[in-house]
Structure 1
Amino acid sequence: MSRRNSAARRQSLPKDDISTLRIIGGDWRSRKLTFPTIDGLRPTPDRVRETLFNWLQTSTPGAACLDLFCGSGALGFEALSRGASSVTFVDRAPEVVHQVRQNLNLLKAQNADVICAVVIDWLEMKKADQEPRYDLVFLDPPFRQDLIRSAATLLETRNLLNSNALIYIETESHWQADGLPENWTLYREKTSGQVSYRLYLRDEPATQEPDLSLAPRQ
């Protein structure tokens, strides 16, 4: 995926400020897309994406996806290429959002939304039980900013996840995976160099069973 710190829109980028990524599977396999070269923006490496989408090979087709802190959009584009029904891209950097839109136009993709917003603010504005829900979420925030727990909590409290949703989390290798919702179960995990990545499966939160011993007798 990707990260950035700049906020200024660049409608056209000098060649030195442009990087490329390659879609590795699906209908757009081997297509190359450009994205801004911004300090901290780091698309998920090809090898990691290949492993991730091997994990997700039966779950991606038809999935409604949410790509938070999308940056280059590498994961969202990969999901669309592999048959996702829709992807919502969210990122705070205008030049990043602009390029994601350009790439969607290049690919003639009709089933994606791109939102320029601070992710945590965007999640906080959601109204519980009144928003679309997602089957697959990519959560790859800037490293060392402690954003994952806040985003994960908001995904749950705003009820933005379908039952059995899958949540991908990409972090620095020393990140401690605690403080996540109790109904998220670790499904797969792996480390590649300085990056750790995990896939969680969401269960419906447990609801308290009524105490039948207290029910009035008929």
Structure 2
Amino acid sequence: MRVISGTLKGRRLVCPPGLATRPTADRIKESIFNILSGRFQESRVLDLFAGTGALGIEALSRGAAFAVFIDQAKAAMDAIQRNIRAFGIEGRSRTIRWNIRKNLNCLRSTPSFDLVFMDPPYSTNAVNPVLTSLAACGALCPGARIVIEHSDQERIVLPTDTLVLADQRGFGKTLVSFVDAMI
């Protein structure tokens, strides 16, 4: 796994050991950033279920101003922190170890985000509860975009009328849904 474009292009990411983390395939990551088409420039990024930090780091490499990485697994947090140090982006990032499925209260004192990546483990039905928490915690800027990588078996039910499904793309058994905050 590597950074595809930007100032960190070609750099290899450290992955947590074992099978607990399912990294986003480079083909899907490249498609996501092509669809976003520069939307991440100078943005504040939130990477939920961050795993290796690949999506948030890719956004930083392509011009995002700041990224917050959240994951519950210690091995994932260790890998993200190693990647951040190796790439010299400590001043533009923050890590939080947190049970995302429980709530997102850890974000109540952070500035809001323009772009959110969410890549929960498949078959956990985490997408809808996390979207509800995200909408409730006040962490989204007006017009924020949420990019969700999920199983094609998991149906997204938007929790409020402030979130709108803008686009959805299929990659085999993976769907990538683009949700806009209409705040």
Q: Same fold (TM over 0.5)?
A: yes
Q: Which runs of 5 or more residues in structure 1 are unaligned?
A: 1-20, 205-218
Unaligned runs of 5+ in 2: none
Q: 1:193 aligns with which of 160, 172, 179?
A: 172
Alignment partner, residue 29 of structure 2:
49
Q: Which residue of 2 aligns with 1:86?
A: 66
> Which residue number in structure 1 is paired with residue 76 of structure 2?
96
Asked whether the 8 Å contact 2:127–2:156 carries over to 1, the reply is no
Structure 1 stretches of at least 4 aligned residues deviating more than 4 Å after TM superposition: none
Match of 1:112 among 93, 99, 103: 93
The answer on whether the counterparts of 2:103 and 2:130 sit within 8 Å (CA) in structure 1 is: no
- State which drifts further: 141-150 or 61-70: 141-150
Deviation at 1:56, TM superposition (A): 1.4
Q: Deviations over 1:97-136 (max 9, x none)?
A: 1111111111110200011121134504554xx5421000
Match of residue 62 from structure 1:
42
- What residue in structure 2 maps to residue 136 of structure 1? 115
1:189 Cα deviation from its structure 2 partner: 1.3
AA matched with 2:128: R
Contact 1:65–1:137 under 8 Å retained in 2 = yes
The SS at the match of 2:101 is: helix
1:183 matches 2:183 = no
How far did residue 58 of structure 1 move? 2.2
In the alignment, is the contact (CA less than 8 A) between 1:152 and 1:181 conserved in 2? Answer: no
TM-score under structure 2 length normalisation: 0.93
Q: Distance in 2 between matches of 1:107 and 1:173?
A: 33
**1:102 partner SS:** helix
Let me know the Cα RMSD of the aligned residues.
1.5
The TM-score, its normalising length taken from structure 1, stands at 0.79
Residues 129-159 of structure 1, C-alpha deviation per residue, up to 9 Å, x if partnerless? x542100001111111121111111111111
Structure of greater Rg: 1
Could you tell which deviates more after superposition, 169-178 or 63-72? 169-178
Q: How many residues align?
A: 182
